[in-house]
């Protein structure tokens, strides 16, 4: 996916390694990220044991709804392409974000773990977009992609 005129939007309901949670923006990227019950420590994704497993799903879904609202309230006209992390916890909401951005004419790239791989790959195929498999949580991969977007002219 070659970088076109405009910024790249990166969306994740988890952290994006090397960037603050919430909204981050510079001249090349906008990141909308959240925290859904885990953290990146010493190079590994670690689940937060203080949060009940089912509660983590609720948190992730709520974070995705919040990101969906930000996107619906602000069409991000300066965005030409988007990278959306689709994990297990909020799969439908994240895929809805990808669909919504695709319907706005944005070039989309889906990044996701192996959980429900076939379902994610099917949606990527329906949208005619690429699907990159990553580690659970997508924290490192989304961070790498964000740094590539900041320094390069193309997404691989």
CATH at 14: 3.40.50
Residue 72 located in a structural domain: yes
Computed over every residue of the chain, the mean pLDDT equals: 81
Domain that holds residue 127: 7-151
118 vs 61: CA distance, rounded Å: 21
Q: What does the pLDDT read at residue 47? A: 54
| 118-150 pLDDT, tens digit each | 988 988 998 899 999 999 889 999 999 999 999
Residue 122 located in a structural domain: yes
Residue 156 located in a structural domain: no
108 vs 4: CA distance, rounded Å: 12
Q: What does the pLDDT read at residue 71? A: 77
Distance from chain centroid for Cα 121: 15
CA 87 → CA 8, 14, 130, 141, 156, distances in Å? 20, 9, 15, 12, 20
**Sheet with strand 22-25: strands edge to edge:** 22-25, 29-33, 7-12, 79-86, 107-112, 130-133
Total domain count, the chain: 1
Identify the helix (H) or strand (E) that includes residue 46: strand 44-47
Residue 49 located in a structural domain: yes
Residue 16 located in a structural domain: yes
149 vs 3: CA distance, rounded Å: 8
152 vs 156: CA distance, rounded Å: 10
6 vs 123: CA distance, rounded Å: 25
pLDDT category at 45 given cuts 50, 70, 90 is: very low
Is 90 exceeded by the pLDDT of residue 87? no
Q: Are 31 and 10 in contact (CB under 8 A)?
A: yes
Please state the rounded mean pLDDT for residues 25-51: 65
Cβ-based neighbour number of residue 123 at 10 Å: 22
pLDDT category at 152 given cuts 50, 70, 90 is: low
Reported as half-sphere exposure (CB side, CA atoms, 13 A), residue 77 has a value of 0
Residue 41 located in a structural domain: yes
Residue 1 located in a structural domain: no
Q: What does the pLDDT read at residue 51? A: 57
Greater model confidence, 5 or 8: 8
């Amino acid at each position: 996916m070659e970088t076109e005129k405009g910024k790249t939007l990166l969306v994740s309901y988890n952290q994006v390694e090397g960037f603050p949670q919430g909204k981050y923006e510079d001249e090349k990227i906008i990141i909308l990220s959240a925290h859904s019950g885990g953290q990146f420590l010493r190079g590994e994704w670690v689940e937060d044991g203080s949060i009940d497993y089912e509660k983590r799903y609720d948190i992730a879904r709520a974070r995705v709804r919040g990101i969906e609202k930000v996107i619906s309230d602000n069409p991000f006209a300066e965005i030409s392409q988007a990278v959306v992390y689709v994990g297990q916890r909020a799969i439908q909401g994240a895929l809805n974000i990808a669909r919504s951005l695709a319907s706005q004419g944005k070039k989309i790239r889906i990044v996701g773990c192996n959980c429900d791989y076939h379902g994610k790959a099917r949606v990527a195929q329906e949208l005619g977009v690429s699907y990159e498999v990553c580690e659970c949580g997508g924290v490192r991969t989304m961070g790498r992609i964000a740094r590539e977007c900041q320094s390069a002219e193309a997404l691989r």
